[in-house]
Structure 1
């Protein structure tokens, strides 16, 4: 077994001649929390879409757990345990928090969206769903209608519904976006907790979150890898400072 759970080589994506992602070689170490950072338009979301097979690459390869998944269908890749956490819009705002997690569990079981199944068969999933909610500190919100939840708690629910699919590797797209300080702290603690026994790749704008949480950081700019290393290494790299702020201190760029 390689130390690297996910490896891309020469990964590129062109849209009508525009290179959104260009020759990206990414290696994510098993068990790490790895961040993709970079200015807007750097290609971070496109990389996520390529990894989860929502887009086919123009060139390059993707290996997960040593298997070439470059041309695999998105569902097949998800079944391998490479799973992206979607923002709450992907859940059902009119259902309770518990029901949303239960749907995640149903998907994992392959029973699909069998809403017409007897309540009895769904009750069997309630215990497991409650366990997941407790693990993200949402037990007391179980009967709350999802759409009425506070924003930061919705992000915790997204993580719970993703955990229901039993990911080996989780892709988190801007998990603290739009949050206040208190919510950010809670979500950072949650990510640290759920990272035990799995690998996490995250796109994140908030550099203090990255500094606190991530083992390794890849900096993208204009679709290419500019730098990679620990937060200490990349935050001192003059090319990274230049890319972010034209030369001011990276640590001032996000205050």
Structure 2
């Protein structure tokens, strides 16, 4: 693990990503209202809630795909409220999406090599020879091995199962060496075997990193997450450990109860 991932400016347990009064309106409808959120360095933090609770909107606000109507966002002590998504990613706040975003007809190795070109300052140097790009192979294989895809390095991404495509996406995200990773429903559409595999992977890569994830699978949240924020109707309903929020009667009524009826 590189110095960037192992030593983010915020020490473990200190707030590295925060929002205050975060609000987003769409044509007069408040999708998110006055959200205060603190994500601490070195933790795995989940955003949960029923459909329509505002989880993905908060995610899009934090990663700057949406501009907030009101409120502020701070990353590692820096106000990023008006910063664009590309610059936020360069600062080390990198996200994945619900739909796997890999190049289907490139091999696993080539997908990771493409992702490595930006931190290696080769992203726009398309005229460079393959020989120069070959120097990325060793690091690419390290990342591929880290997500348990070494046996598939020379397969095209389209040949992978859904869960292994998600593992490849995590490898391409890791290529940017971010201290903070945001996963939007990483277990969506997976069977039990893939869920177990990706959960173990997230736990492993979370060592020395900070992870914020939107997730519907409560068993995954209970098993993985240090901190949980529950949203309902665009507002924070409860925050704390999984044990704390799962015991909150408001949470049971709004979310957990419907999962266990």
Task: Tell me the TM-score range normalised by the shorter chain.
Answer: over 0.9
Q: 2:214 aligns with which of 183, 199, 203?
A: 203
Deviation at 1:249, TM superposition (A): 6.8
Residue in 2 that maps onto 1:120:
131
Aligned mates of 2:17, 2:239 — CA distance in 1:
15
CA contact (8 A) 2:42 2:207 kept: yes
Q: 2:32 aligns with which of 17, 21, 26?
A: 21
Secondary structure at 1:109 match in 2: coil
Aligned mates of 2:99, 2:119 — CA distance in 1:
18
> Runs ≥4 in structure 1, deviation > 6 angstroms?
none
Answering whether residue 243 of structure 2 is matched by residue 240 of structure 1, we say no
Aligned mates of 2:151, 2:116 — CA distance in 1:
19
CA contact (8 A) 2:33 2:234 kept: yes
**Coordinate RMSD, CA, aligned:** 1.4
CA contact (8 A) 1:10 1:25 kept: yes
CA spacing shift, 1:94–1:88, aligned 2, 3 Å: farther
Aligned mates of 2:158, 2:129 — CA distance in 1:
25
Deviation at 1:87, TM superposition (A): 4.9
Secondary structure at 1:166 match in 2: coil
Alignment of 1:80-229 (within 5 A): 80-87=91-98, 89-112=100-123, 114-229=125-240
Structure 2: which 5+ runs fail to align?
1-9
Residues 155-174 of structure 1: CA deviation (Å, up to 9, x unaligned) = 11111000000111000011
Deviation at 1:88, TM superposition (A): 5.6
Q: TM-score, normalised by structure 1?
A: 0.94
Aligned mates of 2:57, 2:98 — CA distance in 1:
16
Aligned mates of 2:127, 2:98 — CA distance in 1:
26
Residue in 2 that maps onto 1:50:
61
CA spacing shift, 1:215–1:209, aligned 2, 3 Å: same
CA spacing shift, 1:174–1:180, aligned 2, 3 Å: same
Structure 1: which 5+ runs fail to align?
none
Secondary structure at 1:108 match in 2: coil
Secondary structure at 2:117 match in 1: helix
Secondary structure at 1:183 match in 2: helix
CA contact (8 A) 1:86 1:158 kept: no
Deviation at 1:108, TM superposition (A): 2.1
Residues 89-121 of structure 1: CA deviation (Å, up to 9, x unaligned) = 422111001111111101222322545431101
Aligned mates of 2:48, 2:74 — CA distance in 1:
21
CA spacing shift, 1:65–1:198, aligned 2, 3 Å: same
Alignment of 1:29-40 (within 5 A): 29-40=40-51
Kindly tell me the number of residue pairs found equivalent between the two proteins: 250
